[in-house]
Amino acid sequence: MAQVTLKGNPVQVNGQLPQAGSKAPAFSLVAGNLSDVSLKDFAGKRKVLNIFPSVDTPTCATSVRKFNAQANELSNTVVLCISADLPFAQARFCGAEGLENVQNLSTLRGSEFIENYGVAIADGPLKGLTARAVVVLDENDNVLHSELVKEIAEEPNYDAALAVLK
């Protein structure tokens, strides 16, 4: 169990975020067309997992925008924005913002992802959602970088996450 904060208030997060040097746990999440998508569907590509509570919050929306802006500069890389938002809300946000370089995935049927990636918020007002985290994987699903953001209302360290892909 890890502890982060939400606007300075302690929040417990269940599990352990995959660490650099480990193999990423398999997952199945829900794509925009309501199909199940697994880690295997991105085989051979490098992956940036941008994990956050909801795209309907300012910090989460900013992270999607920033990763979208930088995704074009990354070769053989897919940016997966993962939240509890329904695929309809994710699509509405990206459509309204004109964001086309990220792929949204929902934890709608992905409780094992939340547990296996150690991002399950266990208490407080966001209980049941995911903590803010970034996990970067190579083409073989080895973890190159991981960050559990200590303050949910703050952005991740984009430079550190993307540096491992350059």
The pTM of this model reads 0.93
> pLDDT: is 61 or 148 the higher one?
148
Residues marked as catalytic: 60
Amino acid in the structure at residue 23: K
CB atoms inside a 10 Å sphere around CB 4: 21
Residue 98 CB partners (closer than 8 Å, separation 6+): none
Q: Which residue has the tokens 């996450």?
A: 161
The pLDDT of residue 62 is 83
Tell which residue, 126, 164, 163, has the closest CA to residue 5: 126
| Mean pLDDT rounded to a whole number for the chain | 92
Per-residue pLDDT tens for 12-38? Answer: 999 999 999 999 999 999 999 999 999
Q: Residues 60-112: pLDDT tens digits?
A: 788 888 887 887 788 899 999 999 999 888 887 777 777 777 889 999 998 99
Rg (CA), the chain: 14
Check residue 88 and give its pLDDT: 87
